[in-house]
Amino acid sequence: MSLLWPGFLYLLLIIPLIVAVYILSLRRRRRFAVRYSSLSLVREAAKQQSWLRRHLPFILFLFALASLVFAIARPTATVLIPSNKATVILAIDVSRSMCSTDIPPNRLEVAKDAALSFIRNNSSGRQVGIVAFAGFAELIQPPTTDVNSLENAITRLIPARRTAIGSAILRSLDAIAEVDNRVAPSELKSSDETNPPQSSTEDFVPHIIVLLTDGASNAGPLPITAAEQAVERGVRVYTIGFGTTNNSSAMNCGDDDPFGGAGGFGPNFGGGGLGGGFRREIDEATLTQIADMTGGKYYLADSADKLQDVFKSLPTYVIATRQTTEISVFFTAFAVLMAILAMTLAFLWHPLS
């Protein structure tokens, strides 16, 4: 506990003065009683009134006064407070490989269905934002609790070229920074991979990023560089690797394909494959490292059911965060309670008439 106005503690010096006045008052009363009353009557009255009854109201009054002085000094404490203003950013990969049909009808549609179920079952009341990323990342729906807005954003996702995982993390951090001034916006900087920062459970903010991808980053900043910035800001990143291994299925983006259907890249890509150096396998090593660095968790989902299970297991419960808060109200309440108790006992044990 610390004090914002510690100088007011000098008021505690009043308490010894009050005690001294109280003792002097008792002695004067005793001399008066001996001088003007029968000594036998005084002794008889003293037997009927215990020491506790005589002095407890005054002692309670001193406790009330001391507690009130501490309240004036404005004490603060670091406490765990449940946060109901947390944000979940869903960063969804919309790269061309999400058109793969190994998980029918294709990965992107299954990911949409899982995300829709997640926001519809958001019983914690957390705000949810949507970031879509391919060759770059964009916030397509700022954090909100409006289910209709989130549904519209998710259903309108369409595929694009390349995969920028690092950009997705940075854009998600910026989205969180816009709703919480404790989180700094992202910044471009070089990475020191020899000594990356590590997360601390005491530094977490209540916001999380859920990053879903089916491939490896081939555009934008390095994912680990972006993850380091998440660590510095106390934002946990939960990563989801989505898709089957050794995938050779055809691609089908339906009417949403801006590249002209499954054969948009030409016949050399065999069954709609990406070719051209694009990887279709999940970079599990990087996704696991991102999750471990930031205090999140990595999930592998190779089917629609497993992806639904992953979204259900995400930590959407209310998270308690450490916060420094003023606790003067507790000292004030204690002072009022002691004062009321002191007056009540005084009237009961020492009636005026």
Show me where the domains of the chain are located.
2-79+327-349, 85-317
What is the DSSP code (8-state) at residue 101? -
**Top-confidence residue, 62 or 2:** 62
Q: How confident is the model at residue 28 (pLDDT cuts 50, 70, 90)?
A: confident
pLDDT for position 124: 66
Helices (H), the chain: 14-36, 39-48, 51-72, 107-120, 147-155, 165-177, 223-232, 284-294, 304-313, 328-349
Band of the pLDDT at 350, cuts 50, 70, 90? confident
Share of the chain above pLDDT 70, in %: 76
For 85-317, which CATH class?
Answer: alpha beta
Q: Report pLDDT for 43.
A: 56
Per-residue pLDDT, 172? 96
pLDDT at 266 over 60: no
Q: What pLDDT does 158 receive? A: 92
- Mean pLDDT over 259-280 rounds to 38
pLDDT of 30 > 70? The answer is no
Residue 219 has pLDDT above 50, yes or no: yes
pLDDT-based confidence at residue 189 (cuts at 50, 70, 90): low
Distance CA 32, CA 257 (A): 103
- The SS3 of residue 190 is coil
Please give the single-letter amino acid code of residue 7: G
- CA nearest to 164, candidates 124, 221, 121: 221
CA distances, 167 to each of 78, 171, 270 (Å): 34, 6, 30
Nearest residue to 177 via CA among 222, 137, 132, 233: 233
Q: What pLDDT, on the 0 to 100 scale, is given for residue 267?
A: 32
- CA neighbor of 300 nearest in space, from 236, 213, 208: 213
Q: How far apart are alpha carbons 268 and 274 in whole angstroms? A: 9
Question: What does the pLDDT average to over 212-223?
Answer: 93
**Residue 66's pLDDT is what?**
93
Q: What is the pLDDT of residue 141?
A: 96
By percentage, how much of the chain surpasses pLDDT 90?
A: 50
Note the pTM of the prediction, 2 decimals. Answer: 0.64
pLDDT higher at 170 or 194 = 170
Question: Tokens in use for 107?
Answer: 């990965």
Contact 209, 91 (CB under 8 A): yes
Interval 271-307: pLDDT, tens: 333 333 344 588 999 999 999 999 999 999 999 999 9
Report the pLDDT averaged over residues 240-252.
Answer: 85
